[in-house]
């Protein structure tokens, strides 16, 4: 049976381009702080372990890429085990010599490290750097099913919907939004929450990383798209209790899943102006 409440913490922090060791140390500190707040799930931003710096990913792949067996990850695995928390963190994962994925690593409360999800919707330069994932994923924490996405995934309504349709009560979407994209950041994830009557946990990078500047805005949205808690500037934690009864009430008010038809059929073209040619008269002599 799903626990009635799950406490989560979304981390907003700066990441150092190409320095996995420094970023792991930062993740250890924030994981401990989140555990002190009673969090059971801690979510870090997209590509946090290596930093979101396309040029650094090109120039220094050996510094940036990890595998679950990477010795540099041991400190974070140890703190996850010691504090009995689950940690999700963005990483560049080396699959083969010439193949990498933009992924989420899960550090379990038992200290195990696994690749939980590979980003399916790659944006811009990511398409040249990474291989897209081929399937969705959910993470189970205290019997809460948490759908997983990464940044651009959350811009596609069907991605979060697929997780909801498979039983997810929340959607964790670590991201990396640059300064100037705040308007889109604030629309997408609130909409995904409202679309599906589920919580959205959004963790964003902040500050300078390599050649880019990130805008933060880390937040947790409730199942009606309202902000529960937010970190506006600087580094910090957005800590919130996900409540199953709030999900149930939102889905009662807005029963989208029950009311959605299986399909919308074909399309009818209605000629509003009366000037368009119809198939029967197209090309006919009007003299």
The string of pLDDT tens digits covering residues 96-106 is: 888 999 999 99
User: Taking residues 44-60, what's their average pLDDT?
Assistant: 98
User: Taking residues 24-29, what's their average pLDDT?
Assistant: 98
The total number of structural domains in the chain stands at 1
User: Taking residues 71-91, what's their average pLDDT?
Assistant: 98
Residue 274 has pLDDT above 80, yes or no: no
- Does residue 28 sit within a domain? yes
What's the CA angle centered on 218, arms 178 and 46, to 5 degrees?
60
The sign one gets for the Cα dihedral 69, 72, 74, 76 is: negative
- Does residue 267 sit within a domain? no
- Does residue 54 sit within a domain? yes
Q: Which pLDDT score is estimated for 1? A: 67
User: Taking residues 55-67, what's their average pLDDT?
Assistant: 97
Mean confidence (pLDDT) of the chain: 95
- The boundaries of the domain holding residue 132 are 5-259
pLDDT bin (cut points 50, 70, 90) of residue 34 is very high
Residue 11 belongs to domain with CATH number? 3.60.110.10
Can you tell me the distance from the alpha carbon of 266 to that of 272, in angstroms, rounded to the nearest whole number? 19
Residue 264 has pLDDT above 80, yes or no: yes
Residue 277 has pLDDT above 80, yes or no: no
Higher pLDDT, 155 or 277: 155
Identify the top-confidence range among 55-59, 97-101, 283-287.
Answer: 55-59
User: pLDDT, tens digit, for every residue of 143-189?
Assistant: 999 999 999 999 999 999 999 999 999 999 999 999 999 999 999 99
- Does residue 272 sit within a domain? no
Rounded percentage of the chain residues whose pLDDT exceeds 70: 95
Residue 198 has pLDDT above 90, yes or no: yes
- Does residue 43 sit within a domain? yes
Residue 204 has pLDDT above 60, yes or no: yes
Dump strand ranges (E) for 108-224.
113-118, 138-141, 144-148, 170-172, 199-202, 206-209, 212-215, 219-221
Can you tell me the distance from the alpha carbon of 263 to that of 10, in angstroms, rounded to the nearest whole number? 36
Using DSSP, how many helices (H) and how many strands (E) does the chain show? 9, 15
- Does residue 201 sit within a domain? yes
| 278 SS3 class | coil
What's the CA angle centered on 168, arms 163 and 173, to 5 degrees?
65
Burial of residue 128 (number of CB atoms within 10 Å: 0-12, 13-18, 19+): exposed
Q: Which pLDDT score is estimated for 280? A: 52
- This prediction has a pTM of 0.93
Residue 278 has pLDDT above 80, yes or no: no
The sign one gets for the Cα dihedral 183, 188, 194, 197 is: negative
- Does residue 282 sit within a domain? no
- Does residue 269 sit within a domain? no
Can you tell me the distance from the alpha carbon of 238 to that of 228, in angstroms, rounded to the nearest whole number? 9
Length of the chain: 287
């Amino acid at each position: 049976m799903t626990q009635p409440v799950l406490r989560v913490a979304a981390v907003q922090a700066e990441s150092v381009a190409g320095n996995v060791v420094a970023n792991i140390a930062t993740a250890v500190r924030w994981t401990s702080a989140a555990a002190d707040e009673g969090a059971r799930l801690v979510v870090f931003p997209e590509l946090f372990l290596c930093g979101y710096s396309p040029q650094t990913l090109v120039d220094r792949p050996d510094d940036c890429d990890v595998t679950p067996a990477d010795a540099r990850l041991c400190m974070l695995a140890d703190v996850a085990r010691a504090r009995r928390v689950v940690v999700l963190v963005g990483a560049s994962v080396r699959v083969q010599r010439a193949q990498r994925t933009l992924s989420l690593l899960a550090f379990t409360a038992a200290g195990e490290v696994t690749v939980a999800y590979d980003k399916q919707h790659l944006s811009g330069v990511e398409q040249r750097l990474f291989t897209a994932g081929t399937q969705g994923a959910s993470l189970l924490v205290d019997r809460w099913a948490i759908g997983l996405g990464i940044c651009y995934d959350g811009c596609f309504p069907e991605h979060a919907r697929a997780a909801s349709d498979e039983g997810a009560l929340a959607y964790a979407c670590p991201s990396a939004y640059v300064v100037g994209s705040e308007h889109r950041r604030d629309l997408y994830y609130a909409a995904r929450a409202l679309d599906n009557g589920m919580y959205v946990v959004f963790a964003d990078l902040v500050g300078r990383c390599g050649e880019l500047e990130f805008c933060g805005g880390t937040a947790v949205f409730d199942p009606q798209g309202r902000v529960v808690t937010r970190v506006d500037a600087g580094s910090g934690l957005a800590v919130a209790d996900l409540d199953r009864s709030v999900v149930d009430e939102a889905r009662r008010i807005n029963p989208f899943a029950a009311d959605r038809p299986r399909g919308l059929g074909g399309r009818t073209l209605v000629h509003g102006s009366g000037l368009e040619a119809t198939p029967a008269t197209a090309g006919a002599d009007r003299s």
